[in-house]
Amino acid sequence: MKLFTRNMVLRAAGSLLALSALLPPVAANAARIENPVAVFSGLDKITGRITTFDVYVNETVQFGALQVTPKACYSRDQAEAQKIDGFVEVDEITLDRKIRRIFTGWMFAASPGLNAVEHPIYDVWLKDCKTSSDVPAPDGAKATAR
C-alpha cells in the first residue's frame, strides 16, 4: 500500500485548483419572474389558421371549442437565457355543451410539443409571457408585473 506524502497531496490539490480555474463558471439559477399575461398560439386544423392571443393569468379565453386558463406564467431576466413556462388548464366544450378538462399541466415555450394539448381539431401552445397586453385587463387583474 502506497502512502501519500504531504507534498504529493499539496501538489494534487494545487493541480485541481488550477484546473478548476480553467473551467467556465457555473451559472446560478436565474430567478423566475411572474408575469400577469400569457401569450398563446392556437392552430385550427380544419382551416390551417394560426391565431396568437393574450390571456391574463387566472382568466379564461375561448379558442374554438377550447377554454384556455393560465394559472401561472414565468420568464427569466432579459440578461439570462429565456425559459418561458406556464401552468395551464384547458377545457373542451363538448357538443352537448358540457365542459370537459382535457389538459392540466406545465407548458414550455421552448418545447411546445413536450406537453401539448391533444385535440382532434385544435392545437394550443404557450409562446411567451408578458407584463402587459393590448387587451384590456379584466376586473381584478393587474396589467403590469408586481
pLDDT at 38 exceeding the cut of 90: yes
Count of Cβ atoms closer than 10 Å to residue 41 Cβ: 17
Residue 144 has pLDDT above 90, yes or no: no
Asked if residue 19 has pLDDT above 80, the reply is no
Q: Where are the domains of the chain?
A: 33-130
Residue 13 has pLDDT above 90, yes or no: no
96 or 145: which leads in pLDDT:
96
In angstroms, the CA 89 to CA 65 distance is 14
User: Distance (Å, rounded) from C-alpha 129 to C-alpha 110?
Assistant: 12
Say what the pTM is.
0.73
Contacts of 22 (CB under 8 A, 6+ apart): none
Q: Determine the average pLDDT of the residues in 39-62.
A: 96
- Whether the pLDDT of residue 28 is over 90: the answer is no
Residue environment code for 46-73, b if the CB has 16+ CB neighbours within 10 A, otherwise e: eeeeeeebbbbbebebebbebbbbbebb
